[in-house]
A and B are shown apart, each in its own frame.
Chain A
Amino acid sequence: MLIKTGRDGYHHPIASEITPQAVYQRRRELLKLMAGGAAGAALAGWASREALAAVQRPDKLAPLPAQPSKVAGAMTMEKPTSYEDTTSYNNFYEFGTDKADPVRNAHTLRTSPWTVEVDGLVKKPARYALEDLLKLAPQEERIYRLRCVEGWSMVIPWIGYSLARLVERVEPLGSAKFVEFYTLADRATMPGIRSSVLDWPYVEGLRMDEAMHPLTLLSFGMYGEVLPKQNGAPVRVVVPWKYGFKSAKSLVRIRFTEQEPRTAWNKAAANEYGFYSNVNPDVDHPRWSQATERRIGEGGLFAKRRKTLLFNGYEPQVGQLYASMDLKKNY
Chain B
Amino acid sequence: MAAAGPRRRPAALHPAAKPLLFVLALLPFAWLFYAAATDQLGANPQEHLIRSLGDWTLRFLCLTLAVTPLRIVAGQPALARFRRMLGLFTYFYAGLHLVSYAWFDMGLDVPEIAADIAKRPFILVGFAAFVLLTPLAATSFNRAIRWLGAARWQALHRAVYAVAGLAILHFFWMRAGKNDFAEVFVYAAILAALLGWRLWRRLRAPRLQPG
Contacts and interface: CB of A to CB of B under 8 A. Distances in A.
Interface of A: 2, 84-85, 88-89, 97, 99-100, 150, 152, 195, 197-198, 268-269, 272, 284-285, 287-289, 294, 296-297, 300-302, 304-305
Given A301-B104, A302-B104, A2 B31 contact: yes
Contact of A294 (B47, B179, B180): B47
Highest count of chain A CB atoms <10 Å: which of B42, B43, B178? B43
Given A287-B121, A289-B116, A272 B43 contact: no
Contact of B173 (A84, A197, A287): A287
Interface residues on B, range: 20 to 34
B176 A287 contact: yes
Contacts of B46: 294, 301
B120 A85 contact: no
Contacts of A85: 43
Contacts of B36: 301
A298 to B, nearest CB: 10
9 contacts: A287-B120, A287-B121, A287-B174, A288-B177, A294-B46, A300-B45, A301-B36, A302-B104, A305-B105
Q: Interface residues of A: mostly helix, strand, loop or mixed?
A: loop
Contacts of A304: 107
Shortest 4 CB-CB contacts between residues of A and residues of B: A89-B43, A85-B43, A97-B180, A197-B179
B67 to A, nearest CB: 27
B182 interface: yes
B41 A272 contact: no
A284 B180 CA distance: 21
Contacts of A289: 116, 119-120
A88 B45 CA distance: 13
A301 B177 contact: no
A297 B122 contact: no
B44 interface: yes
Nearest to A4: B40
Nearest to A96: B180
B168 to A, nearest CB: 16
Contacts of A99: 43-44
Nearest to B39: A300
Contacts of B47: 152, 294
